[in-house]
Every structure is written in structure tokens, then in C-alpha cells.
Amino acid sequence: LSNKLAGYDEIDGDKIINMLKVSNFSQPENDGWEKALGDLKEFMVTDPLAAGTVTGTNGKSTMIMAPVSGELSLEDENLKLLVDELDTLIQSAGDEHPNLEILLSGHPIVNAEIMKKMANDLYLLFPIAVAATALMLLLILRSLRGMLIPLVITLMSVVWTFGLKGLLHSPLTITETVIPVILISISCADGIHIVSEAFHFMHRGMDSEKAIIKTIKDLWKPVTLTSLTTALGFASFAFSSGRSLRNMGLFLAFGVMTAMFFSLFFIPVLFSWYKPAKPHKYRSHYKRQFKLLKRIEHLTEFFLKWRIAVVIFAVIFLALSAWGMLNINTDTDEIRYFKNDNPVRQTAELIEKEMGGLSILQIVLEGEEDSFRELSLLQDIARLQDVIEERPEVSSTLSMSDSVSYMFYGMRGRRDEYFTIPDNQLFINRMLIMAESDKDSRSSLFSSYVNEDYSRARILIRITDSNTRVLEALLADIDDDLDVFRDRGLSVDFAGDYLRVSNGRIIVESQVMSLAITLGIILIVLSIIYRSFLHGLFVSMPVVIAVLFNFAVMWALKVSLNPATAIIAAVGLGVGIDYSIHIYSRLMLLRARGDSCRSCLVNSVTESARGILSNAVSVGVGFLILLLSAYRIINDMGWIIALTMLTTSLASLILLPCLLSFLPENRIKVPYGHS
């Protein structure tokens, strides 16, 4: 198998490691196999570097490590071809040896699985999302033609967005596979409000042309404002350090604005051909709606009566949410992105359990030429390894110090007490000269830990638990121990799976930054539109509390922050603020008629509730489609955003009128020029 693997251009054949290479095994004569295999077994059990590294702890498994030359990205077609050929190779080997189970794992295998699942998700989720949205629109609008109007607008926004993505040759990433589902769920919002409002006027006896003109006249401003805030929420990811989040945010912002454009200019054209239903259908429908509106009116009056209690509960929720957000776990382990029953994940977890794990953290030390020939420096590296190996999540460490100790161990008859660094600089110099000239396969591994001029060395730390938080804790705990190298003037850097820690920090920074930028932009826009910072703050507050509350839910259910769930805050704020804007816009329309403040607060909720709840349910159902994804992180994103739609809509309907009721009546008025 190793020889066949070495034949692939993408695999660095010289650096393939297996139990035969580690043991320097040579094929015996025909009658010497029994003894040779016995010696090999004893070697793999007793050798200080081989045991538990390339063989499993149960003695029944071994591993071939074949490094891939360069980086094969998700977009590289060679990655898929390589993995397909390896699958065929493994299948053939398994047929030859039916008593063995041969498995493939490693980051290239994970990347290939990601690429395959991304394509499957696109083919599966998009049609289901379209069908689910169409069904929800039909139930909400009770009209087949009324359902088709916002659905057509939504599909046009998806086509335009992916058309732009194709024109710009922008590659698809894991998180971007959900763009169609998000656009289908969100882009129909404007269409629902416009069509629902037009039906409302038609129920009152207007013909379709007058109804749509009246609707656009009343709703163009809230529709524009809600689309703008949603797009800005997504666009805030332009400040993220991760390319995937940046691209996703910008393309979603484009899709939302495209949907707004078609909603305001294309829906009126479609609606002009709409023929109204018979009057008796309107009357029966209006009676059902009247009963619902009376219930909402009573509930609104109840909450206004207990407005102080409502605000106190909101403050408690805000405190819990902030605490949950600070304690939420961050995880960028790609293997954990898959569901528990995925074969790639199961194989990786088997390696973690039996063979020391797949995750390797590298500590890279760099100084001047010949720095790592010094005895004292090799001893410092060995002492650091002893400290690191005391941690339960670390299965083993390897470095140049181990290579030197191993050579000394071999020179002294492979006696355990000599697996150490000899306390003699002259002897070490001679050993290094021998290592450079020795063609022994075990000595050739020496170059894996130090470069040719001995100016740069690395320590490999193999970890059984690939959770990002475990890596962060390990790095934090050994930071003080690394000062001994910094004091020597050496630079200390990290590589390998440290990239996941770095990505985790990027996700957290992106989450905080997008939350702050989105909230700041929304406050500025609302304050300008409403001519009052206080009104803009009150309109934003219910949505902020509801969005932050979801982080407490994530913490309680142990859902990690990852590239998928990192967009929750921006989506929640950008979409959730729409509900508060519609209520406040309705309040301004009612105040322009001269009604009392209390009456306007009650009626603004009563008249907006059906559209808001309908929109929240339709968007939430759209996101629940993501539960069908092959990725666990996409599943989490789906149900959490669906929950966000529920919490933001209820917070807007309950908390916003309570907050506004504390303002003096003369402060709740139509701004100059906005009547």
C-alpha cells in the first residue's frame, strides 16, 4: 500500500511513515519470516517512539501516514480525483484481505467529504426550501396567485445573486451553500407584507389596481428601510477576517437589495393583472381575521398594563444573554462539522481513541544558525515535552531531542535507561554528524524536526481531542513554559492545527464586530429616519435583547460558535429589526390621523401582528429546512435562526409598545415632513 501511495503525484512518497519504516524492517528469506515478524512485534511494543504512534494501543491496528504535497483546496478538482482513486485502492486491498478493515482519514479526506456534501446540500435543500416557502405563502395568503407573486420575486433574487457569484468567479464554501435557503426565507418578507396589505385593502372593497397603489404608497418606506437594515446586517461581515464570511455577507446583502427592488417595482406590475375574488369570500375571511385581531388587541392591552414587569423581565433576559455570550464555546474542528453517523467522522474519532488522534499542534522555534546543536537547548526542549505530555489530552510529542535520545538509545543496546540526551556537547556533535550521513530510514526522519542549518526546529504535539477549546487551553497553559526560549532570543510561533485556534478567534472577533457594526448602523439609520436617537434606540432594543438571548440558549444547549452559527447575530438583527420597524411605521401612520397615543400603540400592534407573525413563521420554516443538511453546524444554524425569528417577532410585539408607552405623548408624534 505504501509503495502504491508513493506513486501518486500529490503524495510526498519520501515522507510516508509506517511501521516497517519506523522499525527499519527488511524482508527476510523464506524460512526467516516467523522470527522477523516476532522481532517486529516486539519492536513495535517496546520501542519508545513507535509504540502508540504508528500502532494502536490495542495492538490490533496500525497506520500509514502519507503527507500530501502542497495544499489541495476545496476548489481543486485534483482533490476529488485523488480521493476517488484512493477509495478504489483501499477497496481493492480490502477485497484481497477480507479479515482487515482498511479506513481512510486525514484532512484531505475531510476536505473531499466537505466538497461532496456541499453539492448534495445544494441539490437537496434548494427545491425543498422553494416547496416549503410556497406552502407557507399559500397558507398565509390563502391565494394561489397571491402565493406565486412573492415566490417569483424570491427566485429572481436567488438567480441574480448566483449569477453575480458566477460572473465574479467566486468559489463556493461550506457556509455559502446555505445562501439559496437564506434568500428564499428572507427575500419573501417584503412580498408577504406588500401582498398581505394589498389583500387587506381589497377586503375593504378596493379593486386590485387601487389596492396595490395604496399599498406601495404606505409601505415603500418601511420596505426600503427593512431591506436596507437587513442588507447592512449582512454587509457587516465585509469587515470579517475570514473570506468565507465576507463573501457570504456581501452576496446576501446584494440578494436582499435585489429582492427589495423587484418587490417595489415588479409586484405592482404582476398585481395589476390580479382579479379580485368574490365579495362573499372577503366577508367570511374578514370575520375570521376580526376574531384574531380582537385577541391580539386584548393581549396588547394586558402587556401595556403590566409594562413595568415586562421591562424588568427584558433586563433579566439581557443579563442572562450577555453572560451566555461570554461563556459560549468556539469550535472550528472540521471533523465535528459532520453528524455523528458520518463515516469520515467515525474514522477520525477511532484514530483519536486508538492511535493518538489526528490533530497535531506544532511549536516552531527559530534562532541563529547552529542554535539547535547546543546541549542546553535540546535539554530545554525535552523538559518542555515532559510538561506537555503530563496533560491528559496529549498522546505524544516528538522533536529533535527525541531523535538525539533515540540515537543514544540505539548506541547503548536499546536499553530504556539510555533513552535520554547524553550530557556531553562533544558527543552530541558527533551524533549529529552521524545522523546527517546515516542512510538508515529511522535517521531520515531527523530532518522532520530541524532544518539543514539548525536555525529552526519544531516540536510536534499529538492531541487526542481536536476540540478548539482544548487547543486554546493547552496553549494558554504552556505559554509561561515557552518563556525559556524567548529569553534565549528565539522566536516562538505555532503551526499545524493552531490554524483552527486562529480561525476560532477570527470567528469570535467577526461575531462581535458584525454585532457592533450592524447595531451601530441600524441605530444611525433609524435615528436619522425618525429624527430621534431615543426612538431609534427603543425600536432597536427589543430585537437586540431577543438576539442576544439566543446566545444564552446556545450556551445552555452546548452549541458552539463556528463559521455557520457566526452569522446568527447579523441575521437576527438585520431581519428581526424589520418587525419593530413595521410596528413603529404603523404607529406613525395612526398618529398622523390624530388618534390618542394609547390607542395608536394598541392598534399598531393589532394591525401589524398578522403580517409580522406570518413573516416570522415563514422565515423560520425556511431556515428549519437546514435541518436536512449533512452538516451538523448547518443544522444548528437553521434551528437557532428559526428560534431567532420567533423571539425577535414576539419581543417587537410585546416589548416595543411597552417601551414606547414610557415616552410622553407629545414625544410620540410624526416627524416634520413624514406625515
pLDDT tens digit sequence for 109-133: 877 777 777 777 777 888 888 888 8
For the stretch 356-370, pLDDT in tens is 777 788 889 998 988
Per-residue pLDDT band at 472 (split at 50, 70, 90): confident
Q: What integer pLDDT is reported at residue 72 of this predicted model?
A: 52
For the stretch 606-653, pLDDT in tens is 888 877 887 788 788 888 888 888 778 788 888 888 888 888 888 888
Q: What integer pLDDT is reported at residue 365 of this predicted model?
A: 92
**Homologous superfamily (CATH) for 118-336+502-667:** Multidrug efflux transporter AcrB transmembrane domain (1.20.1640.10)
**Where do we find the cell 426550501?**
129
In this predicted structure, the answer to whether residue 374 has a pLDDT above a threshold of 70 is yes
Q: What integer pLDDT is reported at residue 404 of this predicted model?
A: 85
**pLDDT top residue among 447 and 366:** 366
Q: What integer pLDDT is reported at residue 565 of this predicted model?
A: 73
In this predicted structure, the answer to whether residue 267 has a pLDDT above a threshold of 80 is yes
- One-letter amino acid at 426 equals L
Instruction: Report residue 527 as a C-alpha cell.
Output: 435615528
If one looks up domain 359-496 in CATH, what number appears? 3.30.70
Q: Which residues of 415-447 are buried (b: 16+ CB within 10 A; e: fewer)?
A: eeeebebbeeeeebeebbeebeeeeeebbebbe
In this predicted structure, the answer to whether residue 500 has a pLDDT above a threshold of 70 is no
**CA distances in angstroms from 81 to 23, 121, 215, 340, 449, listed in the order given:** 32, 20, 55, 26, 31
Pairing of strands 359-366, 394-398: unpaired
Question: CATH 1.20.1640.10 spans which residues of the chain?
Answer: 118-336+502-667
Question: CATH 3.30.70 spans which residues of the chain?
Answer: 359-496
Instruction: Report residue 354 as a C-alpha cell.
Output: 486508538
**CA distances in angstroms from 465 to 50, 95, 355, 564, listed in the order given:** 21, 32, 12, 21
Say how many C-beta atoms besides its own lie within 10 A of residue 225's C-beta: 22
- In the chain, count of helices (H) and strands (E)? 23, 4
Q: What integer pLDDT is reported at residue 384 of this predicted model?
A: 92
Indicate the range of 65-79, 402-416, 591-605 predicted with least confidence. Answer: 65-79
Per-residue pLDDT band at 246 (split at 50, 70, 90): confident
Measured CA to CA, the distance from residue 442 to residue 644 in angstroms comes to: 57
Cα angle: 494, vertex 500, 501; to 5 degrees: 65
Q: What integer pLDDT is reported at residue 254 of this predicted model?
A: 92
Give percent of the chain with pLDDT exceeding 90. 3
In this predicted structure, the answer to whether residue 346 has a pLDDT above a threshold of 50 is yes
DSSP structure string for 307-343? HHHHHHHHHHHHHHHHHHHHT--B---GGGGB-TT-H
